Amino acid sequence: MTVASSAAQAFRDAYGAEPTGLWAAPGRVNLIGEHTDYNDGFVLPFALPQHVVAAASPAEGTDWTVCSTFTEGSVSFGATQPGDVEGWAGYVAGIVWALQEAGFDVPPARIAFASDVPVGAGVSSSAALESATLTALVELGGLNLPVAERPALAQRAENLYVGAPTGIMDQSASIRCTEGRALFLDCRSLAVEQIPFDLAADGRAILIINSNAPHQHVDGEYGARRKSCEEAARILGVPALRDVTLDGLDAALARLDDDVTRRRVRHIVTENQRVLDTVELLRSGRIREIGPLMTASHASMRDDFEITVAQVDVAVEAALAAGAYGARMTGGGFGGCVLALIDADRADETTAAVERAYAEHEFTAPTTWSAVPGPGAARLP
């Protein structure tokens, strides 16, 4: 059964009717540009083929009722305040809240969700849930919310309702990505450019390696990184680290006393440049040549930003030793997935090499799949 048909079936089972429509929103991986989003910098994510599907209909009364194939029972809520609804339904309530805060008359609805986006793998299953909810409610209510403004609204749900201090990348990716392309997003102006990323035509693939490492201390460490970056920007007298250029990096570092802060800054400044360099190469179709930038990004996350764990470092090393052009952890860090850029016919060998390395280290086995850029959030036909 497809995710869409599971969602439709869950809707029928729970509510005894056909849904008005099905809305899908994908998870994402980020090709390059990590922790740059909340520094007003650049990111380059693409949408995964895996998605969350919301089967939804308008409802009588004043409440929203949600259920899913991944939990028992259903949750109903009316108007709520941040934090009132917890667990996965909190992301849905957060979207309703953020829409209301923005002045929209949100249509009461019944929704059933299904998903094949892995949870806890750092591929934004929560942003996919938010984006599917938002897209469904906007269309059901005929709300006048342009696509370009939707990610910021979904981010407010995540930041203020759920309470996670994340940037705007994940919701932007889930909502604005397009098939066959990577999304070049300027997180300050929110300008986007769809960058051709036709891996198959180039004979390449992106192997996604889920490290299956237990996510630990993610929230606290994420918030600490963000705080360090903001503090550094304050000391340097710039609105955000985006405003420190590569040419000005040494001078900026010389003004910072603390070695940890210096390394955090160096990651952000060099990572922004790596995104720009990657985009340049992809614009001229030089896919293979982005490999070294990916690998340099990983080293920077490992040594300067200190957000990797042994499992992702080992996966990167094993993929490179097996001939990958480049490899890096993707997402917020402390576990999650590694992306390896490989020749399309090398997926099995690369997977086997990573599995062997994991066995040697007695890590839980990884899960791998090859991904091509899929479409962003949309109503399904």
What contacts 24+ positions apart, CB below 8 Å, involve 63-66? 63/108, 64/92, 64/93, 64/96, 64/108, 64/109, 64/110, 64/111, 65/15, 65/109, 65/110, 65/111, 66/92, 66/110, 66/111, 66/112, 66/113
92 or 301: CB nearest ligand GLA: 301
Residues binding ligand GLA: number (CB under 6 A): 11
Interface region with ligand GLA, contact rule CB under 6 A, candidates 31-39, 88-96, 193-201, 273-281: 31-39
| DSSP category for residue 374 | B
CB of 274 to ligand GLA, least distance (A): 13
Beta bridge partners of 29: 46
Q: Is 170 in the site for ligand GLA (CB under 6 A)?
A: yes
The answer to whether residues 88 and 68 touch, using CB atoms and an 8 Å cutoff, is yes
Q: Is 169 in the site for ligand GLA (CB under 6 A)?
A: yes
38 or 363: CB nearest ligand GLA: 38
Tell me which residues are annotated as active site. 170
The answer to whether residues 244 and 260 touch, using CB atoms and an 8 Å cutoff, is no
How far is residue 52's CA from residue 3's CA, in Å, rounded to a whole number? 8
56 or 327: CB nearest ligand GLA: 327
What separation in angstroms does the CA of 333 have from each of 151, 183, 362? 22, 20, 21
Q: Is 130 in the site for ligand GLA (CB under 6 A)?
A: no
The answer to whether residues 127 and 174 touch, using CB atoms and an 8 Å cutoff, is yes
Q: Is 64 in the site for ligand GLA (CB under 6 A)?
A: no
- Crossing angle (nearest 10°) for helices 291-303 and 259-283: 170
Q: Is 34 in the site for ligand GLA (CB under 6 A)?
A: yes
Q: Is 368 in the site for ligand GLA (CB under 6 A)?
A: no
Q: Is 271 in the site for ligand GLA (CB under 6 A)?
A: no
Interface region with ligand GLA, contact rule CB under 6 A, candidates 32-40, 189-197, 257-265, 286-294: 32-40
26 or 331: CB nearest ligand GLA: 331
Q: Which residues bind ligand GLA (CB under 6 A)?
A: 30, 34-35, 37-38, 166-167, 169-170, 331-332
